[in-house]
Amino acid sequence: MNKVKSLNRKDLLGLKELTLEEIKLILKTAHSMKEVAARPIPKVPTLLGKHIITLFYEASTRTRTSFNMAAKILSANITNIAVASSSIVKGENLIDTIKNLEVMGVDAIIMRHSMAGAPHLAAKHCNISIINAGDGFDEHPTQGLLDIFTMQEKKGSLKNKKVVIVGDILHSRVARSNIWGLTKLGAKVVVVGPPTMIPKDIEEMGAMVSYDLDREIRDADFINMLRIQKERQEKGLFPSIEEYAALYGLNAERMKQAKKDVVVMHPGPINRGVELTSEVADGPYNVILEQVTNGVAVRTALLFLLLGGKNSH
């Protein structure tokens, strides 16, 4: 591996705060890490002796597992805290939890929380690295980075490429991280969904708004389908799942309007039959499992740059 620079920051809280140069550095490093992850023995000693914690207040399959794999590729120790069997259930608050982990000698905490801003609060109250693995409606920065990495693998430069993000934009931290990152890279981002699921401030972030999926997919380079987040919805924001799927779901018939080289993405987990039919989810345009593979490379790059990039190999 060539000598690489480090990220000159303690935490990774969102793509909003990253500069274009920092995003490019993470993406470039992720290419090297993808090569490392594919080796017969995927291991480098960069983070030997470092101790990383995952602290997830919400469920995860992809993010937590890929961070575990990333830490192990870099030879770090990693401990997963199961919130349900921790002292959090006795009422210990977030700041006390973070401070107690810090004094044990932990180097970084990767956290997921239902409250937007929780990682920012944690970061202010400790001297160790906090990595946001998803906070409420706010951001999911490593998902944004792995989506962008996958898009660049498929089509190179994203300048002026049209990315259509479809679905529950209101509740989607994935949408926000995609928009922050993609607009910095010069992509044209259009969000599509029912009016009740499009937040009023989304255009201020640099995205365009549309309610017509059929019109937007015709010249799209990428279609990023989002999960309907039933767990974050306080009230019914659309009449029925069937009506939602008819207007905003991607099916084989609708895909006939899209360009032949369009790329269909989804962060997972998929509600099959709602935002995507299985025919599309498993069809020729999809890169959904490639996104998951790339999550390991991107998260390895991030840990490398945040915690150990100064000692290159």
Of the pair 50, 62, the CB lying nearest ligand CP is at: 62
CA distance 12 to 266: 23
Give the footprint of ligand CP on residues 53-82 (CB under 6 A): 60-63
Query: Which residues on neighbouring strands pair with residue 56, listed in sequence order?
Result: 82, 112
Q: Say whether residue 267 binds ligand CP (CB under 6 A).
A: yes
Q: Say whether residue 141 binds ligand CP (CB under 6 A).
A: no
In the block, residue with structure tokens 């999911």 = 140
Work out whether strand 51-56 and strand 162-166 pair parallel, antiparallel, or are unpaired.
Answer: unpaired
Part in contact with ligand CP (CB under 6 A); list of ranges 23-31, 41-49, 117-125, 266-274: 266-274
Of the pair 134, 167, the CB lying nearest ligand CP is at: 134
Q: Say whether residue 136 binds ligand CP (CB under 6 A).
A: no
CB of 286 vs ligand CP, minimal distance in Å: 15
Structure-derived torsion over alpha carbons of residues 149, 154, 158, 160, reported in degrees to the nearest 10: -150
Hey, what are 194's tokens?
């029912």
Q: Say whether residue 171 binds ligand CP (CB under 6 A).
A: no
Of the pair 77, 229, the CB lying nearest ligand CP is at: 229
In the block, residue with structure tokens 């969000």 = 191
Q: Say whether residue 268 binds ligand CP (CB under 6 A).
A: yes
Q: Say whether residue 177 binds ligand CP (CB under 6 A).
A: no
Closest to 214 (Cα-Cα) out of 243, 251, 183, 260: 251
CA distance 36 to 145: 18
Q: Say whether residue 273 binds ligand CP (CB under 6 A).
A: no
Question: Binding residues for ligand CP, per CB under 6 A?
Answer: 60-63, 134, 140, 143, 267-269
